[in-house]
Amino acid sequence: MADEILSFRDVTKTYALVGGATHAALRGVTADLHGARAVALIGRSGSGKSTFLHLAAGIDAPTSGAVRLLGSDLAALSDRERTLARRRAVGLVFQFFHLLSHLSVEDNVLVPALIAGDDLPPVRARARELLGRVGLADRMRQPVQKLSGGEMQRVALCRALLRRPRLVLADEPTGNLDDATGQVVMDLLLRMAREEGSALVYVTHSRDLAELADEVWRLHSGVLEAP
């Protein structure tokens, strides 16, 4: 379909363990994400949530089955092609922010554009616009380490959205924040993804935060249970 963002078809991911044993992190997962919808991915620790996100981003490849991003089979691409596809189409948000402490707030937001070699004047304007939307316009020249945890995650949201990705993947984006701050960050992430027309898949252990999504997908021991 024209609005297909992400598709998993009978995806299994198996890892080799010490001694010749194997572990199936995902088993026969089939799922489809269309349009600018928000999906909460839930499940116990070790259920395969991070593996799902890594496959969706093209960071890893499935052992069997197919993962399609915007209609392209990621397994059919070379490592470089997958990297370029990820840069073009995917924004990533992490639990521990992964900001560069020696850079300013604004420069942290600009990192994806600098890596991609984008023309700086328009993306700098874009970064400032995003920072204004999350209430950090007056902090953009400050060193990022002077920010609170919630402010750092807001910077990370801006970085993820900088290049207008079709898909945003967030791995426990509120997991390093207190409940009140986490609620603020999650509300911002959902609102901004919808405003930008980006699909969103976010991992959370919070039932309250999961209920904010359009859909909830549950993983149990590597198997995606039907909604």
pLDDT 10s digits, 97-150: 899 999 999 999 999 999 999 999 999 999 999 999 999 999 999 999 999 999
Q: What is the pLDDT of residues 186-203, one digit of tens each?
A: 999 999 999 999 999 999
Closest CA to 209 of 155, 176, 172: 172
At 177, the amino acid letter reads L
CA 47 to chain centre: 18
Residue 2: pLDDT band by 50, 70, 90 thresholds? low
Give pLDDT, residue 16: 87
For β-strands 199-203 and 215-220, DSSP reports them as: unpaired
Q: Which two tokens stand for residue 79?
A: 């490592």
Of 1-10, 107-116, 210-219, least confident by mean pLDDT is 1-10
| The CATH classification of domain 4-225, taken from the options 3.40.50.1000, 3.40.50.150, 3.40.50.300, 3.30.1280.10 | 3.40.50.300
So where are the chain's domains?
Answer: 4-225
Stated pTM of the model: 0.93
Averaged pLDDT for residues 155-168: 96
Share of the chain above pLDDT 90, in %: 87
Q: Is the pLDDT of residue 165 over 70?
A: yes
3-state class of 102 per DSSP? coil
pLDDT band at 170 (very low <50, low <70, confident <90, very high): very high
Which two tokens mark 9?
A: 């078809």
Q: Which amino acid is at 220?
A: H
> Which residues are CB-neighbours of 47 under 8 A, at least 6 positions away?
219, 220, 221, 222
pLDDT tens string 83-96: 999 999 999 999 88
Phi, psi of 192 (to 5 degrees): -70, -40
| Amino acid letter, residue 77 | L
- On the question of pLDDT at 1 being above 80, the answer is no
Region 212-225: mean pLDDT is: 95
> pLDDT higher for 17 or 153?
153
**Cα–Cα dist 197/180, whole Å:** 26
Token pair belonging to 93: 């948000």
46-74 pLDDT, tens digit each: 899 999 999 999 999 999 999 999 999 99
Beta bridge partners of 6: 33, 69
Within 10 A of 85 (CB to CB), how many other CB atoms are there?
17
pLDDT at 226: 63
How does the average pLDDT of the chain come out, rounded?
93
Nearest residue to 146 via CA among 91, 185, 108: 108
